[in-house]
Amino acid sequence: MTKRIAFQGELGAYSHQACHETYPDMEAMPCRTFEDAIEAVRSGVAELAMLPVENSTFGRVADIHHLLPESGLHIIAEAFVRVHINLLALPGTPLNQIESAMSHPMLLGQCRAYLEAQGITRVTGADTAGSAKQVAGAGNPAMAALASELAGEIYGLDVVARHIEDEGNNTTRFLVMSRDPDYTPRGTRNMMTTFVFQVRNIPAALYKAMGGFATNGVNMTKLESYMVGGSFTATQFYSDIEGHPDDPSVKLALEELEYFTSEITMLGVYPADPGRH
């Protein structure tokens, strides 16, 4: 039986592309929301979920950091996916016939310079692949979509212009979630550890909590804060560090962190994606 990997969005979305590139032998399962993708794994309908967490141009993906600690799932891998944006239109449509392009607001913003140069009006759509599906169904050659080449293949659209994004290194980082954690070192690649924590209510608690990573030479690649429970005083921190919890330096740093925190939740240990370096 083919195993499934769940993602949020329509077939042809960049999350679908991430599934296709990272797990080509698994069946990609589209879900309406991030919560639905998480629930598909929790309930056993899917083995894995592919969730975007941040983009090199637009920063973190809203809601994901709130969902991960409560999901009950574990990070087992990360995937860096190059986001190439393409102008898709009905078969045979020339560029000079296109008057408007539909896509998610994030993609419209990433192609602003190209669209303005071509005199193409931006039209907001719900998402990228959904816009491609809508353009294919509408049958209007003056309306195009901004999406992946995969979306063009799925919905029968031509690539009129390829890789039109303004930023040449636009990349999205995805996390692969599973019901079961996997803390075993894998291969020769460096390991990453991700966790969330809340500091104790004492002066300079965060500064002191971070001290253990500095003194033990552990590189922290991400530290982000966000409110929990709608309170301005209850702050949770999300962190990625290089290394495995069993590494002596990481073990010491986490022990020191524990002293200054009221709660630590380990989200996953996984190999660093080659795209990280």
Active-site pick, 22, 128, 172, 261: 172
Active-site pick, 174, 197, 237, 260: 174
In whole angstroms, give the CA distance from residue 221 to residue 240.
Answer: 6
DSSP 236-260: EEEEEEES-TTSHHHHHHHHHHHHT
86: which residues sit within 8 A by CB, 6+ positions away? 146, 147, 148, 149, 152, 159, 160, 161, 162, 163, 164
Q: What angle do CA 185, 190, 191 make, to 5 degrees?
A: 55
In whole angstroms, give the CA distance from residue 123 to residue 111.
Answer: 12
172 noted as active-site residue: yes
195 noted as active-site residue: no
Q: How many other β-carbons are positioned within 10 Å of the β-carbon of residue 96?
A: 9
187 backbone φψ class: left, alpha, beta (φ>0; ψ -120 to 50): left
70: which residues sit within 8 A by CB, 6+ positions away? none
* Active site positions, annotated: 172, 174
